[in-house]
Structure formats: structure tokens, C-alpha cells
Amino acid sequence: MADRTPTLTDLAQRGQIQVLEDLWLAALEDGERDSQDLLGALTALTKRGQGERAAALGWTWLATYKEQAEPAAVLAVAKELLVACGDSEELRQEILGLYRTVYEDRPDLELLLETSGLAGGKSPRRALRTLDLCLGLEVGDYLVHRSDEQAVQVVAVDTGTCSYTVRGARGEEYLDGDTLALAYDAVAETDFRVLLQLRPEALTELVTGDPVQLVIGILQSRQGRIDSDHLEELLSPRLVPAGRWSTWWSKARTALRRCPHVVIEGRNPVILTYHAAGQTLEDEIEPQWAKAQTPVQRMAVVESYLRELKARRLTSSPSLVGKLHRELAQRVEVARKGAPADALAEALVIDRMVRGGMLPAEAASPAREILAASDDCVHLLGELADYRCYLQAIELLREIKPDGWAEVYIRLLPVAPQEACDAIAGALHAAGRTEDVRRVAAEVLADFNGRLGAVCWLWRGPAVEALEPIPRAELLPRLVEHLAMLTRSDYTPAAVLRDARTRIRAALSTENYRHYREIIQGMDAGMASTIFRTVDRAEGLGQVVHATLLRIVRETHPQLFAKTRVDPWFDDGLIYCTAEGRQRREAELHHLTHVKIPENAKAIGEAAARGDLSENSEYKFALEERDLLQARVRNIQQEMALARLLTANDVSTDSVNVGTRVTLATQDGGHRRAFTILGPWEADGERGIYNYRAPLCIKLKGLRVGEAVALELDGVEREYRLERIENALDRQRMPV
């Protein structure tokens, strides 16, 4: 791709003054000139110590613009020039004249001009701020303090003295215009700070009646940007009950996507950005397109554009579509000779634009041309990085090769990605080539190498019902061993291993491990024991999948593990927990894997970049921290695999058990103590909640009301009688 044309700002920053000056006048004559680029160039010149040159160019712009625009628009440009080009008495006088023209009906204008100091040498930014705030201020308007964000309302304006009375939570203030502008910012009546402090009744109405305006008010109070997590913290549970947040946010997000002033990007959490002037759908799509680095990412942008066009009932922009089409066509031509798969992937984006109605049906189809010219379509499609592109390509193949597509499909099936196998097999079956599909399936099952996508397709269950039943019981140990072999081999490419791990884990765990459960349930104990040992020693399955596969065997064939019955209180293979305790453990694991470990990886990289690793203490410390973090993650994952959820219905109060709350008292009643017995994840000694494996709880285990026990508490041993046993979970006494 050719480099982009440098902007005027680029030229100014590089010091290419002659080129800049040559292009400046042409830019001014262009009816669609970029004002921000013009201002950026002037600012860059001023920073390079060429303020006089910047001022000269600025005056050229202003003189040209005065012939084309209304005084109010000229004033807006002149104010920007005064800030961008440095202070200028001549420009100040020009701006004063423009103010007098635009606001000629304001009797207090001269007093405001004097108060602002624009003619008296006060800094341009402060003088213009005072004028713009005071000229736009009326009784009833709202302001927010620039330092402590206290909201106030304007209750009186004295035009004779250019003074203002404002009222807020701290009472009334009487301020002159200059002081007011220095202390306060003008805000909308829907600004969240105003709603929260001065208009709570309107805030409640917006929560239920107009969530879009509510979110815009929050964005206005947050410099135009917030993520969904912080939005939830602001609103729930204070304004939206925690239990209703998901529903409220889902509806609000749908409405916000149709709002031209709000852009929603990213996921988990999503980022919301406010644009006061409003953005078209094309304004949203262009930055996404500019960021897209691969054909897959560009396809995703096109899909997003088509989806939003449909949702908003809009038609595509010819200028944007033309721009995208030209760039894609250029990419296709550049890649066509040396990288045909890349060219095909780019061409498929064009094909999607045609199918989506963005381009006319008769538009040139480079994807068809590339496929038609290929001597080996199987190899060409095999290099496509995304299965969605693959599916699109095989559809085109049928259209291009109406008489020969079936032979190509038969060659594609064993090496196709899993997501495309059903489409290929279904088309062959419909064309009467079912026997060929059966033959290919048998070949795939005989040799997994290079065919893992098709293997996992067969495991999950093909949509073509005419195929022979898949021997999953035989396939299972081979899948596990295949992954272990790839993991152990030093010659397995990283991308191949990563793909194999993802596919095999997903295949085994699909539909909550349904196929695996059915296999284990249909086995005798001896075969199940073999599978257990195979899975137990397998590598590459991942902690969660590995532990779950073993647990299913234990649950289905408990007799294999029932040599001696172990009391649950002492069973090392079992950890009782509450839902809240498990959630805290999951949150800790999430924090480790998504925050601490990425931070540590960054620290390792930064330390390694400093060189001389043998003497680099920061590098060694970061590696030690990595080992500790990974060990902690493994420990939590292992514990969570042993977790057994305890509910109120599981708790018996006939005697002291896990999940009970017990009250003890000495014989004379002088000492009374209460203990809640839960799992290790809920234990909190300060709140009287103890791990059921703690020595104290072991002593209480099995006791009934009225029975006595000697306990050493607070350093003194006394005999206590058990007064009461309650269901701690039923009474909701567990930690929140």
C-alpha cells in the first residue's frame, strides 16, 4: 500500500515550510478544507519558534474566510487563531470588532469586553473564556465548579455591573464575570453532577424514562468518556437495583447504539464516548477501518457496518464504500502474485460488500478470478486464517465450478476447518455423493495428522445423518493421546499446538461434556478405569478440562474409588463451600490471570530489555514473582476442581455439621460463645466463622444439643454445654 499523503500538520512538524506554504492556499480554496489540520499546522509552527510565519498564514486564512462566511463563523476561527499563533494585538483588535458585530444587540457588551481584559492585555485564553461564558449565560443555567465539581444554578444576572448570583448546596454566591469564568464551567441541565446535586427528581425520571439522556449526562460530567464497569458503579445499586442492572443496561445499550452522539466500542467492559456534534455511522466506521490490520479484521468492520445499517435502517455511504473498495482492490493487486491467499482474503471482503448490497452485483469479483485461476484450490483455501472466509470461498467455488465443485469438496473435507465440514459434507450429500463422505470420514478417523478439524467435527456429530455412527468410545483415548503427543514433541509448531489444544478441549467439553459423559456412562468399570488413567497422565488438556474429565469418571463409577470410605470432614478430595465463597475464589483467580500475571509479564519484558540478565535483580525478582503467581493459580484451580457447593438444604441440624451455627455456654451461664462452621474459603475468625477442619470445629463435630465438651478459649479451658444448633445458610449468616 502507498504511504498516506502527509497532512499540513505533518509538514509543519517536519519543518517542510516551503511545501506547507505551497499547499496552504490550495487548502484554503478547497470547500472541504480540514480546519483542525490548518490549526494543527499553525500550532506546530508556533512551537517550532516560527510564530510570525504562523501568524501570516493565519491572517491569510482569516482574510479568505471573511469573504466566505458569516461573522459568527469568522469569529470562531479568529479565536482559534489567537490561541494557535501566539498573542497578537492586531488579531485582538480584529476579534474585538467581530464580537461587536456578532453581539451588537447586547447592551452590556462593552462592559463584558472590558471585564474580560481582551483589550487590556489579559491572557487570550482567559479573556476569551470570560467572554464566551458570560455572553452565553442566562438565569436558570447551570455551572459546575472547576475544582470540587459543586453544581450551582444562575439565579440572577446584573448586566449593569456584569455580576452573577449563583445558588448551590453551599448557599448563594455573588461573583463578577471574570471570577465566575475562572471558577466555573457551564454545563447542561442534564449533566450528571447537576442531576445528582440539584435535580434528583429529574434524575429518577431519566433512569426509567430516558436512559440515553442519562448516560449522555454522565458522559458530559466525565470529559466525554466512561466504561460500562464505572457506569454500573455510578448507577447501581444507588439508582438501578443490582438485580435489574443487566436488564437496564441491555436496553440502554441498544438505544445508545442508535444515538449519533454516543459511540460504543470494545467489550468487557465496553467504552462509551460522547460527541457533542454527533457522529454518523460512517464517522464510527472509518476509525475502525483505519485500525484494521488484517483481512479478517477488515471483514469484521464490513460486517459491523452492514449490521448497523440494518439496525438503524440506513443506506450505505457511496463515498465510504468507494474508499473501502478502492483500498481493498489495491491490496488485492499488491498481494496477488506473491501471496495469493492474502489476495483471496482481501477479495472476499469485496465479495461480502457485493452480497451485502454495498456494491452493485455486476461489480468486478477478484475473488472469483483468483479461485478460477488457482491450480490448487485446496492448498489456497487451507491458508485462509479465518473459517468465515473459508465458508465464503467454498460458496464461490460452487458457483465458479458448477461441474467440478464436488471433486474439490471431497479433497477439501479431510483438511477443512471444523466449522466448514458440515457445509461441505451437506452439499456432497445433497449431490448424491454420500459414499464419498463416508469414505473420507473413515480416512480421517484412521489418521489424525493434518485433519484435526475434521476429527473434531466427527466427534461433535455431523449434521449429515446418513453417515455411520461415530465410534466415540474409540475416538476418545486417541484424541487425548494425540494432544499429549503434540504437547510432548519439540517439533510441533506453536500455532499447530495452540490450535490443537483449543479444538480438543472444546470438543471434549462441548454441551457440558455431553459426549464424554455418555461414553463414560456406557463403559464398564474396567474400561472407565483405563480412561481415567489415560486422562490423568495426559498433557495439554488444561487444568479445568483435565479436572472435570476426571471428576466425571469418579461420579459415574464411584466404586472405582470407594476402597475405603472417608469422612467428608477429612476428605482431602473435597472442599465444602458456599456460593459466595466460590465467587470470591473465582474473582481472585480472575484477578490473578487477567491483572497480576499480565502485569508481571510486562515487568519481565521491561526488565529483560535492560540487558545483562545475570546481574539483573529486577529480572530475577520478576521471574520469582511469576513462579509464585503461577503456583497460586494452579493451587486455586486445583481447589476449585474439588469444590462442593453447600446449600441450606444440605445442612442437618441434628448435630454439629458443616453449615451449622452453634451456641455454647458454661454450666453457670457466665460464658457464652457462638461459632459458624463453614469451609476454608469463608473462614473469618473475627466474625466467628471457622473452617470445618479447624481443631475447634473437629472437637464440636457430631455433638448434639445438651452435650458437653471441654474447650480452651481465650487461653482458659472450660466445660461448655451445647445450647443451640442452627442452619447458618438458612439464616443467611454467611459472609456477604
User: Does residue 563 fall inside a structural domain?
Assistant: no
Domain check: are 258 and 351 in the same one? no
3-state DSSP assignment of residue 198: coil
CA atoms of 420 and 418, how far apart (whole Å):
5
Q: Tally the domains of the chain.
A: 4
User: Does residue 133 fall inside a structural domain?
Assistant: no
Q: For residue 462, say if its preceding peptide bond is cis, omega within 30 degrees of 0.
A: no
Question: Long-range pairs for 567-575 at CB < 8 Å and ≥24 separation?
Answer: 568/658, 569/658, 569/692, 569/693, 569/698, 569/701, 570/693, 573/642, 574/642, 574/644, 575/639, 575/642, 575/643, 575/644, 575/679, 575/680, 575/681
Q: Average pLDDT for residues 309-318, to the nearest whole number?
A: 85
Domain that holds residue 702: 648-727
Length of the chain: 736
Distances (CA, A) of 479 to 421, 439, 444: 18, 20, 12
Q: How confident is the model at residue 82 (pLDDT cuts 50, 70, 90)?
A: confident
Mean pLDDT over all residues of the chain? 86
- CATH for 678: 3.10.50.30
> What is the reported pLDDT for 47?
87
CA atoms of 714 and 736, how far apart (whole Å):
27
Instruction: Evaluate if residue 636 carries a pLDDT over 80.
Output: yes
Q: How confident is the model at residue 421 (pLDDT cuts 50, 70, 90)?
A: very high
CA atoms of 135 and 164, how far apart (whole Å):
12
Q: By percentage, how much of the chain surpasses pLDDT 70? A: 96
Q: Average pLDDT for residues 695-724, to the nearest whole number?
A: 92
Distances (CA, A) of 330 to 286, 343, 366: 18, 10, 11
pLDDT digits (tens, 9 = 90+) for 34-77: 778 888 888 888 888 887 888 888 888 888 888 878 888 888 88
> What is the reported pLDDT for 69?
81
The residue among 678, 677, 676, 679 whose CA lies nearest residue 642 is 679
Domain check: are 289 and 391 in the same one? yes
> What is the reported pLDDT for 2?
40
The residue among 581, 566, 567, 562 whose CA lies nearest residue 702 is 567
pLDDT digits (tens, 9 = 90+) for 207-236: 989 999 999 999 988 888 999 889 998 898
The residue among 393, 397, 371 whose CA lies nearest residue 384 is 393
Domain check: are 295 and 225 in the same one? no
Domain check: are 96 and 203 in the same one? no
Report the chain's C-alpha Rg in angstroms: 36
CA atoms of 175 and 182, how far apart (whole Å):
10
> What is the reported pLDDT for 608?
65
Q: Average pLDDT for residues 371-385, to the nearest whole number?
A: 90
Cross-strand partners of 710: 719
Domain check: are 320 and 340 in the same one? yes
The residue among 465, 556, 476 whose CA lies nearest residue 515 is 476
Domain check: are 303 and 266 in the same one? no
> What is the reported pLDDT for 709?
93
CA atoms of 487 and 196, how far apart (whole Å):
57
Q: Over the range 217-254, which residues count as b (16 or more CB within 10 Å of their CB) and which as e?
A: bbbbbbeeebebeebbebbbeebbeeeeeeebbeebbe
The residue among 433, 467, 501 that closes a domain is 467
Per DSSP bridges, beta strands 163-168 and 151-158 are: antiparallel
CB 38 within 8 A of CB 8: yes
Distances (CA, A) of 211 to 28, 83, 307, 370, 549: 42, 38, 23, 50, 45
> What is the reported pLDDT for 68?
79
User: Does residue 249 fall inside a structural domain?
Assistant: yes
Q: Average pLDDT for residues 442-453, to the nearest whole number?
A: 82
- CA angle at residue 195 from 191 to 200, to 5 degrees? 170
Q: How confident is the model at residue 561 (pLDDT cuts 50, 70, 90)?
A: confident
Which residues have C-beta within 8 Å of that of residue 487, sequence separation ≥ 6? 497, 501, 539, 540
User: Does residue 477 fall inside a structural domain?
Assistant: no
148 is written with which cell numbers?
470540587
Which residues have C-beta within 8 Å of that of residue 8, sequence separation ≥ 6? 20, 23, 24, 27, 37, 38, 40, 41
Domain check: are 308 and 455 in the same one? yes
pLDDT digits (tens, 9 = 90+) for 470-516: 778 888 888 888 888 888 888 888 888 888 898 899 989 988 999 99
Per DSSP bridges, beta strands 660-666 and 672-678 are: antiparallel
> What is the reported pLDDT for 5?
61
CB 38 within 8 A of CB 26: no
User: Does residue 142 fall inside a structural domain?
Assistant: no
Distances (CA, A) of 4 to 1, 290, 432, 444, 449: 9, 11, 53, 49, 45
* Sign of the dihedral through C-alpha 97, 103, 107, 110: negative
Per DSSP bridges, beta strands 708-713 and 262-265 are: unpaired
User: Does residue 215 fall inside a structural domain?
Assistant: yes
Domain check: are 288 and 274 in the same one? no
Helix H or strand E segment including 520: helix 494-521
CB 526 within 8 A of CB 532: no
User: Considering the entire predicted model, what is its pTM?
Assistant: 0.50
CB 85 within 8 A of CB 139: no
CA atoms of 534 and 369, how far apart (whole Å):
50
pLDDT digits (tens, 9 = 90+) for 94-151: 888 988 998 888 888 888 888 888 887 788 889 899 988 998 889 999 999 988 889 9
Which residues have C-beta within 8 Å of that of residue 94, sequence separation ≥ 6? 62, 78
Q: How confident is the model at residue 285 (pLDDT cuts 50, 70, 90)?
A: confident
Domain check: are 251 and 325 in the same one? no
The residue among 428, 451, 467 that closes a domain is 467
User: Does residue 483 fall inside a structural domain?
Assistant: no
CB 553 within 8 A of CB 531: yes
DSSP tag of 29: H
DSSP tag of 613: G
Domain check: are 435 and 289 in the same one? yes
Distances (CA, A) of 408 to 405, 422, 425, 451, 728: 5, 15, 12, 16, 66
Instruction: Evaluate if residue 447 carries a pLDDT over 60.
Output: yes
The residue among 423, 438, 467 that closes a domain is 467
330 is written with which cell numbers?
489495491
CA atoms of 545 and 536, how far apart (whole Å):
11
Domain check: are 331 and 457 in the same one? yes
The residue among 662, 681, 679 whose CA lies nearest residue 720 is 662
User: Does residue 94 fall inside a structural domain?
Assistant: yes
Domain check: are 435 and 304 in the same one? yes
CB 41 within 8 A of CB 29: no
Distances (CA, A) of 402 to 321, 394, 426, 462: 31, 12, 16, 25
